Structure 1
Amino acid sequence: MSLKARILSDLTAAMKNQDALRTSTLRMVKAALTNREIEKGGELTDEEIVKTLRSLIKQRQDAAEQYDRGNRPELAIKERAEIQIIESYLPQAATPEEIERAIAEAIAETGASSMRDMGKVMKAAQARLAGRNIDGRTVSEMVKAKLSQ
């Protein structure tokens, strides 16, 4: 079953179960996927769907931070609940050990020795972690720590 089919199936189940949060979140995901398909002019691959889901998660994280700063904890909680629902459709997250290993291999492969090589290392590390759910900010911080030693 494709990722999109799974999302649509879960949307139907959420509506039947009258799960308001899950229903609204999956409707929002479905709308975002439909918009991306219209932009592209065709069906999305699972990889493109994952990219769209990551973008939705990033939007929710930013919104939650804004709500926290604006002293609106109830809205921040809702955004974080939506993040958890969306994350359930992403591939398994890479462990910190796997990220460390990928960064070490990327540094060895690129011959990086200073912060000037950070872009090369990031590109190589993310290529090694392709298909896994990774947070770019976490990888970036780990690369900075390694290169500044």
Structure 2
Amino acid sequence: MSLLTTINQDVKTAMKAKDKETLGVLRMLKAALQNEQIKTGNELSEDEELTVLSREMKQRRESLVEFQNANREDLVEQTQRAITLVEKYLPQQFTEEELKAIVTEAIAKVNATSMKDFGKVMGAVMPLTKGKADGNEINRLVKEQLN
């Protein structure tokens, strides 16, 4: 079953439950997936769906930081609930230990020795962690291990 189908079913459930907040987030996810589908001109693969969801998650995390900096607790809580909902559709996230192992392996694979090889390491790590880890976390771990 495609992600879009799952989200459509969850939209119906949220409508029946009169859960406006969940409904709003689900509609936003559905719109993002449909827009990507229109842009590509064909059905989205599972990988493409993950890319869209990862992008939506990243936007919400960035918004959360901005709301926290502006002391907007009402928006912080709302955004945290949206993040929890989006996480439900993403695959299980890697733990920090798993990410460290992937980064270490990638550094060895590309023979990275300094920060000059940062791009090579990121290029090797990102396809392996697509949708299963936050890019900022990976970035931090790569920098730690290259220094």
| TM-score normalised to structure 2 length | 0.92
Q: CA deviation at 1:128?
A: 3.1
Partner of 2:102: 102
Q: CA deviation at 1:127?
A: 3.0
Partner of 1:135: 134
1:84 aligns with 2:80: no
1:38-57 paired onto structure 2 within 5 Å:
38-57=38-57
Determine what percentage of the aligned residue pairs are the same residue: 38
- In structure 2, the CA distance between the partners of 1:104 and 1:32, relative to structure 1 (3 Å rule), is same
| Structure 1 contact 8–30 (Cα < 8 Å) conserved | yes
| Structure 1 contact 113–147 (Cα < 8 Å) conserved | yes
CA deviation digits over 1:60-93, x for unaligned, max 9?
1222222222232101211111111011100110
CA deviation digits over 1:26-79, x for unaligned, max 9?
011111111111211222112111111111111112222222222321012111
Q: Secondary structure at 1:49's aligned position in 2? A: helix
Q: Which 10-residue stretch deviates more, 37-46 or 79-88?
A: 37-46
| Structure 1 contact 29–53 (Cα < 8 Å) conserved | yes
Residue identity opposite 2:65 in structure 1:
E
Please give the alpha-carbon distance, in whole angstroms, between the structure 1 residues aligned to 2:123 and 2:54.
18
| TM-score normalised to structure 1 length | 0.91
Q: CA deviation at 1:95?
A: 1.4
The alignment yields a C-alpha RMSD, in angstroms, of 1.4
Please give the alpha-carbon distance, in whole angstroms, between the structure 2 residues aligned to 1:71 and 1:96.
29
5+ long unaligned stretches in structure 1: none
Partner of 1:2: 2
Residue identity opposite 2:134 in structure 1:
D
Partner of 1:117: 117
User: How many residues get paired?
Assistant: 147
Q: Secondary structure at 1:71's aligned position in 2? A: coil
- In structure 2, the CA distance between the partners of 1:29 and 1:64, relative to structure 1 (3 Å rule), is same
| Structure 1 contact 4–46 (Cα < 8 Å) conserved | no
Q: CA deviation at 1:24?
A: 1.0
